[in-house]
A = this chain, B = another copy of it.
Amino acid sequence: MKLFVINPNSTASMTEKIIASARAVAAPGVQIEGRTAHGAPASIEGHFDEVMCAAHLLREVQEAERAQADAIVVACFDDPAIGACREVATGPVIGICEAAVKAASMIATSFSVVTTLPRSVPVIEELVRRYGLDHQCRRVRSAAIPVLALEEPGSNARLLIRDEILRAIDEDGCEAVVLGCAGMADLTEWLSLETGIPVIDGVSAATKFAEALVGAGLKTSKIGAYAVPNAK
């Protein structure tokens, strides 16, 4: 099985981290192909950045399709352009927000999300509502760190995230926490140990869910909204 994991921003160090997370959980025989959306913004912090990454992301999806990808993970928590990716792809396409919150809903009655910047909070709230899980999501929180701070060695980002998770436990009464940025993937285990709560990383969740959908013999439905784009 060939699984493409696409980082929709152009920061290669983040792609490395994402690939590592995906490979760490991939089943035997699953080949993880990591891709960076060269030409996209260095980080995706809001709707504008989403648009600016989308065509680059789609180019990577088209290449994955040509390379006969069995499934595709879009590794940005804003789940940018997922519908468009699904039109292009034959196999399943899964965004890391959708994967993470649906995973959370299977192991806990409620969860909170901890993301990077405050401006991403409403974006994620809307996604969670679109996925129908607003009744299980206690709160979307920001640790008030820019995405790229997660790439800086020696930054205190991990401490800020840990503290926000502790506040989520205390104030929200949530039973699990979802990490709201692909760049947090490498912190998952440490955060879970520090906080004593299931901490869910979207990259791992999406990698495994993509494998699962392929393994169950499922492909993207092509008879409706996700049909191949109309030729122009």
Q: Which of B122, B132, B216, B225 contacts A225 (CB 8 A)?
A: B122
A207 to B218 CA separation, bound complex (whole angstroms): 13
Is A211 an interface residue when CB atoms closer than 8 A count as contact?
A: yes
* Chain B residues near A198 (CB-CB < 8 A): 218-219, 221
Residue of B nearest to A230 (CB): B45
Q: How far is the CA of A198 from the CA of B86 in the complex (A)?
A: 14
Inter-chain CA distance A46–B232, complex, in Å, is 12
Q: How many copies does the complex hold?
A: 6
Task: Name the distance in Å between A128's Cβ and chain B's nearest Cβ.
Answer: 9
Structural contact, A110 and B224, CB atoms closer than 8 A: yes
Q: Does A108 contact B (CB under 8 A)?
A: yes
Which interface class (under 10, 10 to 19, 20 to 34, 35 or more) fits A?
35 or more
In the assembled complex, how far is the CB of residue A169 from the closest CB belonging to chain B, in whole angstroms? Answer: 8
Which residues of B lie under 8 Å from residue A45 when comparing CB positions? 229-230
Q: Among B28, B126, B204, B217, which residue has its beta carbon within 8 angstroms of that of A109? A: B126
Say if the beta carbon of A31 comes within 8 Å of chain B: no
CB proximity of A47 to chain B, nearest CB, Å: 3
Inside 8 A of A176's CB, which chain B residues have their CB?
221
A48 near B215 with CB under 8 A, answer no
Whether the Cβ atoms of A81 and B212 lie closer than 8 Å is: no
Assembly CA distance A130 to B168 (angstroms): 24
Instruction: In the complex, identify which listed stretch (A12-20, A49-57, A149-157, A158-166) lies at the interface while the others stay far away.
Output: A49-57
| B107 lies within 8 A of A92 (CB) | yes
Are A213 and B223 in contact, with the CB atoms below 8 A? no
Docked Cα-Cα span, A126 to B27, in Å, equals 34
A88 contacts the other chain (Cβ, under 8 Å)?
yes
A71 CB, min distance to chain B CBs, angstroms: 10
> How far in angstroms is the closest Cβ of chain B from A121?
7
Q: Is the CB of B134 within 8 A of A135?
A: yes
- Given the interface contacts A48-B229, A189-B217, A218-B107, does A175 sit within 8 Å of B132 by beta carbon? no
Please determine whether B221 and A212 come into contact, CB atoms closer than 8 angstroms: no
Q: Can you name 10 extra interface pairs (CB under 8 A) apart from A46-B229, A107-B218?
A: A27-B29, A46-B84, A46-B87, A51-B84, A52-B58, A83-B123, A94-B106, A107-B219, A118-B224, A205-B216
